[in-house]
């Protein structure tokens, strides 16, 4: 009898354990219980893990695919080094020995190969005409830059490198970008860490900035650039901003000083137009009007009873402006229906930069109290 009760008790415990385990498992898998216990349902956790793995896989694949087409831009330049003061043991004489000139090598930016021996980078990366530039591939092979073509109106430069056999990177389309779109940046961060890969999203479109970095030494106004939170540091300038398909949708150009996770890139579509023209003609096309001018501010316009615009101080003989009938003393008020205004002297230049060589544009000028409409055909800058 005793054995019966012991066996019965053990059987009850086994049943209770089985039922309790099943019940616990069932309750745990209920959505509200599972959320309470772990914060995620089993299916949600699985989807999240798959998403993370997929994103990691995309980044790894793109980095492996695109990095061989990305190069580091380096410069060798003379640098004056100051010698310390020399004092003789007896304190009778003090000499300031002259400084020595040293050849200093410095990684200053990034670029990417678009066709055989042609590398695209930022103009401000190679703005100095004193140094000797070279590019360094991912496998640490170095090649001298034989020729630099600098775009006079955009922060773009093309480097011609002989003997380099690197696969060209794929160029995408920046015409349909969306805020929140996933992006990847590759570059030589801080001029020290080559082929650094960072990720983020497009944070904004159509921004206007002044581009430059500590290695460039100068800055210029750029419009319609892409804002991203992918980490872009000094030295990343000229490197590619890629989409999830591994295509270049922008050229990393600048980082907002004193801030975090605010970087900018030139849209690749505007770059492709310049590159296409360069590959056809072997030079950058710069539309040329042929006037020297200064802007008439709103205050000056009111005081002198004249319209705002670009006051023409001088017309280049034989230029499109000269051929089109623009005279010294004219005030250019409109180009193609767009008003010429601005606090600085870039107002007219910006409007001309939007055009192409060979474009015939309508120009409205104010002359001796009257408005005149002229037509001018832009030519290639010499």
Active site residues per annotation: 124, 155, 237
d(CA 290, CA 288): 6
Please provide the size of the chain in residues: 382
Nearest to 223 by CA among 273, 261, 266, 272: 266
Any idea which residue has 């023409």 for tokens? 312
Q: Output the six-digit token pair for 331.
A: 């005030």
Give every CB contact of residue 112 below 8 A, 6+ residues apart in sequence.
69, 70, 71, 119, 120, 121, 169, 238, 239, 240, 248
Count CA atoms closer than 13 A to 245's CA, side-chain side: 8
Name beta bridge partners: 110: 72
CB 340 within 8 A of CB 349: no
Measured distance CA(194)–CA(290) in Å, rounded: 43
Closest CA to 114 of 84, 83, 159, 147: 159
Q: Which DSSP symbol is given to 39? A: S
CB atoms within 10 A of CB 381: 15
Listed residue (330, 171, 362, 351) closest to 250, CA to CA: 171
Listed residue (225, 167, 236, 227) closest to 198, CA to CA:
236
């Amino acid at each position: 009898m005793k054995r019966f009760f012991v066996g019965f008790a053990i059987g009850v415990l086994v049943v209770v354990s089985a039922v309790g385990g099943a019940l616990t498992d069932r309750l745990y898998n209920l959505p509200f219980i599972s959320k309470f216990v772990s914060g995620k349902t089993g299916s949600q956790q699985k989807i999240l893990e798959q998403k993370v793995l997929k994103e990691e896989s995309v980044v790894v694949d793109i980095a492996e695919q695109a990095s061989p087409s990305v190069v580091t831009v380096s410069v060798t330049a003379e640098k004056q080094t100051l010698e310390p003061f020399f004092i003789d043991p007896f304190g009778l004489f003090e000499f300031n020995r002259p400084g020595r000139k040293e050849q200093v090598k410095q990684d200053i930016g990034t670029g990417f190969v678009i066709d055989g021996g042609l590398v695209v980078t930022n103009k401000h990366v190679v703005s100095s005409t004193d140094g000797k530039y070279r590019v360094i591939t991912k496998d640490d092979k170095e090649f001298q830059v034989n020729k630099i073509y600098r775009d006079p109106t955009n922060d773009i430069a093309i480097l011609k490198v002989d003997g380099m056999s690197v696969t060209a990177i794929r160029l995408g389309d920046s015409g349909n970008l969306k805020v929140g779109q996933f992006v990847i940046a590759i570059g030589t961060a801080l001029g020290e860490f080559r082929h650094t890969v960072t990720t983020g999203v497009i944070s904004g479109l159509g921004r206007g900035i002044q581009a430059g970095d500590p290695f460039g030494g100068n800055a210029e106004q750029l419009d319609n650039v892409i804002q991203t939170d992918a980490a872009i540091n000094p030295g990343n300038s000229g490197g590619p901003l890629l989409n999830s398909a591994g295509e270049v949708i922008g050229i990393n150009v600048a980082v907002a000083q004193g801030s975090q996770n605010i970087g900018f890139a030139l849209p690749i579509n505007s770059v492709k137009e310049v590159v296409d023209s360069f590959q056809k003609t072997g030079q950058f096309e710069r539309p040329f009007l042929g006037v020297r001018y200064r802007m008439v501010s709103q205050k000056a316009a009111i005081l002198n009873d004249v319209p705002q615009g670009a006051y023409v101080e001088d017309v280049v003989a034989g230029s499109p402006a000269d051929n089109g009938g623009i005279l010294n003393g004219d005030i250019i008020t409109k180009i193609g229906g767009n008003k010429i205004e601005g606090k600085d002297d870039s107002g007219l230049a910006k409007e001309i930069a939007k055009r192409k060589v060979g474009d015939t544009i309508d120009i409205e000028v104010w002359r001796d109290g009257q408005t005149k409409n002229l037509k001018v055909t832009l030519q290639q800058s010499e």
